[in-house]
Amino acid sequence: MRVLLWEKGAVLIQDEGKNQSRFQANDYWKIIDAAKAEGLELRDDAMHSPSPPTLHSSFKLRDYQEEALIAWEKTGYRGIIVLPTGSGKTVVALKAIEKTQSAALIVVPTLVLLDQWKKTLEEAFRVDVGSLGGGVNDIRALTVSTYESAVIHAGSIGNLFKLIIFDEVHHLPTPSNSQIAQCYLAPYRLGLTATLGNSPESLSALEEMVGPIIFRRHVEDLVGTHLSDYTIKTVQVPLLPTEKLEYDLRYSIYRSFLQSRGIKIRSAKDYLRFVQRSGFDPEARRALLARNTAMDLALNSEAKISYLRSLLRDNPNEKTILFTRHNKLVYKISRDLLIPAITHQTTPEERREILNRFRSGIYKKIITSQVLDEGIDVPDASMAVVLSGTGSNRQWIQRLGRILRKREGKQATLFELVSMETAETRMSSRRKQLD
Amino acid sequence: MILPPDLIRVKRTKEALNPQFAQDDKLGLAKTLIATYKANVDKRHSDLLEALSNCEDLGYDFKLVRGLTFILDGFCFFSIRSVLPPLKARTLLFEEATKTPVYLESDKNAVLSRVALILNASSEDVDESMYADLEDEQQLIEFNEPDPLQLLQSYNFALLVAVLSYSTILTIQYSGKNPEIEKTTASLGETSERGISTTSIAVNLKPVKHMTIRGAKFEHLLTRLIAEKDWSLHSDAAYPTRYEDTRVLTITRKNHGNLLRAEQFKDEDIFEIKPRPTKVSRYGEVVVLEDIARQIGITDRELIKLIDAEGVKYTKLGGVLYSPARLNDLKEELKGVEKGSLSEVKGTLRKYGVKNPIAILESLGYVVEQGDGKDLRFYKLRRRTSSI
């Protein structure tokens, strides 16, 4: 009889003559399936998954959540579910755990999410939940881990879980994180995200590591029924005359350089090559710095702040989240308009306090850069103002998702402020292109 | 110290890899940068950064400028300076602003006045304190000005350590024997050693996941090697990483000795540890987290975990871990200066590894305030009697 063995992130098939063939742990499920199909006798000494107590939660699934779960079941408990922020991905995951009644590892990108997941699982199933990350190493049948810790401990715990759930699964296809997919046996896999991106390489890697995209709903699919109705208002704000002069001057330095060298920037890769060039070519560096200054003016213009003042005055009672790209603008606005700010420099205690006060309505407005884009449970708001951002569609969808939680009679509005006649207009178009 | 990878400067030819060491012709730049730091003592971090960014337009390679400032940052102490506790000030401001929303500057001024009244301070103090704890707002309170030549040598050392971290094969030679060098080379990979009056060690370097740990080992090795009477090293280094093949890097005492300067040996560092009956960490009774973590190439948090694993009781104050005995010693010494200027106690605090005197003093229940005079470096110390 052949025997399956586990060895630090790999699975071995040992035949009767003790010869061993080595495979990636990710191939475990294929080996089991193939052995079943061929009718081969195979003793599984690789998987040492503990049995959790019976897991049952009182959550009721919405129709689309039910559909997503059925789709996952049909593909042999493997696959990726794409649902907008605020539409209840976590509930689907809880029901997936309940469905398999297996030891499960939930992998999350941040420590904040780790805490949130642990709390949710403990409240839902009334069991102790382990955690791995932030200096804690407590492994239980249900364990929440950061991506980083899951990589580090793959060799020692990779054979303990039958189910692995990747929250914000778009974080998985990096050289480091993909080791989790490769080094854990878990035959059942579920990926969750609001936006997957559209890089063919990433999508193909995710399919190999987690499974196919089995269910997808866009914001538009759920608006009105499960998500709030919303309006997006893009406002073209002219730069102040002095800002415009400076912008044109700086941007022309950048453009002239590209023209003089015959460089075309058509994609992110082209831009990256230009940035790399600036490391050894002083002219390229001058052009890069000029472009950065120009973009800084466009993204953080005084004119936008003036517009914001009037916007807030016109909507004094809306619970509003302001988003920027740079911390500098966060703190400028926080100082000028006395609005609580959350950035990476905000301590967890202060952040919690600000979000609690925002939730309870003491604070009507908060301002943040990119830290609230994902990974933090942000209270519902009815208005968002994107003062600046990247060209990423994922960021755009995540920011929009912050105002879409359904409430009776709610009409959410997202204002996008874009500096007129600047390169920011292209960035604005790019981020609104769907996957 | 090791330069970050993005600041490495090398010339790669068909056969050789030559680090672009800073020679005497860069003394002018070194002096300018040192003067920039000096001019920004008692100013905000963001002011310093802006001044340094202007130095990048002086015509030198920006990587050289940033590399030198990376070294100079090690000579700086930054601290929060505010009349009021920043968190308290901004929380009150936000609370007051919910009562009368702020759209115009006059609205803000009205809120500032109300909060100033509550805190018994001026509006300016409230405004300045609001975000005084941000990295950019912290002030450069002390700059231990290095000699310009010493700066260039320290830079060259950090550059060489960074490049050596990409070695695949390393051969070193030096006069006599040095067990520390042997121990470090053995930790880098498989070694073969020969020689009696002159030691020659060849190392086949193990592939590593964490370059910072390897960098720390190279720093340790190079520190000891360049202290020897005669030495040389040859490395096959795969740098830049986009090339798979290696180039030879040759460094000798004769050609490069006067270009390099190392930090103090780790085991000769600042702490004098008296034998005590209680259990102490192998890192000492006063552990400056940032320094020790950097020396052994791990993060502060990882270092705390290592010390926790030793089962030793410590108190953490402002980035320094103190054994109970040493903490008592520190408190005793401070008792003698209940009230006075910060400079009076700086020497005492430095003995205890303190880089950020204000944070430590505040942790120990003192209040640190700006003095009455124009001299921003004058502080009063008094026991904390109430919190604002």
Q: How confident is the model over B347-384, as pLDDT tens digits?
A: 667 767 776 666 677 667 666 665 544 333 334 444 33
Min mean pLDDT across A278-282, B27-31, B332-336 is at B332-336
With a cut of 90, say whether residue B171 has pLDDT above it: yes
CB pair distance less than 8 Å for A135 and B98: no
CATH node for A63-217? 3.40.50.300
CB pair distance less than 8 Å for B103 and A312: yes
- CB contacts of A362 in chain B (<8 Å) are 95, 98
Regarding beta strands B379-383 and B366-370, do their DSSP bridges make them parallel or antiparallel, or are they unpaired?
antiparallel
- Considering B33-47, B242-256, B344-358, the range whose residues carry the highest mean pLDDT is B33-47
Average pLDDT (A385-390) is 94
* Fold matches, A63-217 and A229-238+301-431: yes
With a cut of 90, say whether residue A305 has pLDDT above it: yes
The residue extents of the domains of chain A are 2-44, 63-217, 229-238+301-431, 241-299
Which candidate from A135, A282, A336 shows the least CB-CB separation from B108?
A336
pLDDT in tens, A163-191: 999 999 999 998 889 999 999 999 999 99
Q: Which residues contact B147 (CB under 8 A, 6 or more apart)?
A: none
- Alpha carbon distances (Å) from B253 to A376, B199, B221: 55, 15, 15
CA distance to partner chain B, nearest, from residue A228 (Å): 26
With a cut of 80, say whether residue B290 has pLDDT above it: no
Quick one: pLDDT at residue B271? 33
Give chain B's mean pLDDT: 82
pLDDT band at B211 (very low <50, low <70, confident <90, very high): low
With a cut of 90, say whether residue B387 has pLDDT above it: no
- Compare B199 and B323 and report the one with higher pLDDT: B199
**A80 CB-contact burial (10 Å; exposed 0-12 / middle 13-18 / buried 19+):** buried
Quick one: pLDDT at residue B205? 86
With a cut of 80, say whether residue B65 has pLDDT above it: yes
Residue B258 CA to residue A344 CA, distance in Å, equals 43
Average pLDDT (A55-71) is 93
Quick one: pLDDT at residue B374? 39
Average pLDDT (A109-134) is 90
Average pLDDT (B212-219) is 81
- The tokens describing A239, both together, are 């730069």
Residue A171 CA to residue A168 CA, distance in Å, equals 6
User: Which residue of chain A has the CA closest to B301?
Assistant: A135
- Compare B63 and B294 and report the one with higher pLDDT: B63
With a cut of 80, say whether residue B292 has pLDDT above it: no
Residue A319 CA to residue A384 CA, distance in Å, equals 8
CATH node for A229-238+301-431? 3.40.50.300
With a cut of 90, say whether residue A82 has pLDDT above it: yes
pLDDT band at B386 (very low <50, low <70, confident <90, very high): very low
Which candidate from A135, A336, A340 shows the least CB-CB separation from B94?
A340
Residue A170 CA to residue A174 CA, distance in Å, equals 9
For the residues of B349-368, what is the DSSP string, one character each?
HHHTT-S-HHHHHHHTTEEE
With a cut of 70, say whether residue B39 has pLDDT above it: yes
Average pLDDT (B311-334) is 77
Specify the DSSP element, H or E, that contains B169. Answer: strand B167-175
CB pair distance less than 8 Å for B131 and A337: no
pLDDT in tens, B3-30: 988 899 999 998 899 999 999 999 999 9
Whole-number percent of chain B with pLDDT over 70: 79
Which candidate from B108, B127, B301 shows the least CB-CB separation from A135?
B301
Residue B29 CA to residue A39 CA, distance in Å, equals 76
Residue B265 CA to residue B322 CA, distance in Å, equals 22
- Alpha carbon distances (Å) from A352 to A376, B96, B98, B152: 10, 19, 18, 46
pLDDT in tens, A126-170: 999 999 987 788 999 999 999 989 998 998 899 999 999 999 999
pLDDT band at A266 (very low <50, low <70, confident <90, very high): confident
Average pLDDT (A385-396) is 90
Which candidate from A135, A313, A340 shows the least CB-CB separation from B103?
A313
User: Which residue of chain A has the CA closest to B91?
Assistant: A340
Largest CA distance in chain A: 82
pLDDT in tens, A24-41: 999 999 999 998 898 888
Quick one: pLDDT at residue B335? 63
Contact B330, B352 (CB under 8 A): yes
- CB contacts of A314 in chain B (<8 Å) are none
Average pLDDT (B238-257) is 87
- Compare B27 and B309 and report the one with higher pLDDT: B27
The ipTM assigned to this model is: 0.80
Whole-number percent of chain B with pLDDT over 90: 42
Residues of A with CB under 8 A from a CB of B: 135, 279, 282, 285, 309-310, 312-313, 316, 331, 334-340, 345, 350, 353, 362-364
- For chain B, first and last CA: distance in Å? 41
Contact A73, A99 (CB under 8 A): yes
Quick one: pLDDT at residue B99? 93
Q: Which residues contact A235 (CB under 8 A, 6 or more apart)?
A: A307, A415, A416, A417, A418
- CB contacts of B60 in chain A (<8 Å) are none
- CB contacts of A279 in chain B (<8 Å) are 6, 63
With a cut of 80, say whether residue A253 has pLDDT above it: yes
Residue A418 CA to residue A190 CA, distance in Å, equals 38
- The tokens describing A178, both together, are 């993909």
Q: Which amino acid is at A283?
A: E
Residue B40 CA to residue B48 CA, distance in Å, equals 6
Sheet holding A42-44, edge to edge: A20-24, A10-14, A2-7, A42-44
Q: Is the peptide bond before B240 cis (omega within 30 degrees of 0)?
A: yes
Give chain A's mean pLDDT: 91
Q: How many helices (H) and strands (E) does chain B have?
A: 15, 14
pLDDT band at B331 (very low <50, low <70, confident <90, very high): confident
Query: B89-119 burial, b for 16+ CB within 10 Å, e for fewer?
Result: bbbbbbbbbbeebbbeeebbeebbebbbeeb
CB pair distance less than 8 Å for A364 and B98: yes
**B32 CB-contact burial (10 Å; exposed 0-12 / middle 13-18 / buried 19+):** middle
Regarding beta strands A365-368 and B189-194, do their DSSP bridges make them parallel or antiparallel, or are they unpaired?
unpaired
Average pLDDT (A198-215) is 91
Min mean pLDDT across A177-181, A341-345, A416-420, B355-359 is at B355-359
With a cut of 70, say whether residue B72 has pLDDT above it: yes
Min mean pLDDT across A110-124, B213-227, B230-244, B369-383 is at B369-383
Min mean pLDDT across A93-107, B117-131, B230-244, B306-320 is at B306-320
With a cut of 70, say whether residue B336 has pLDDT above it: no
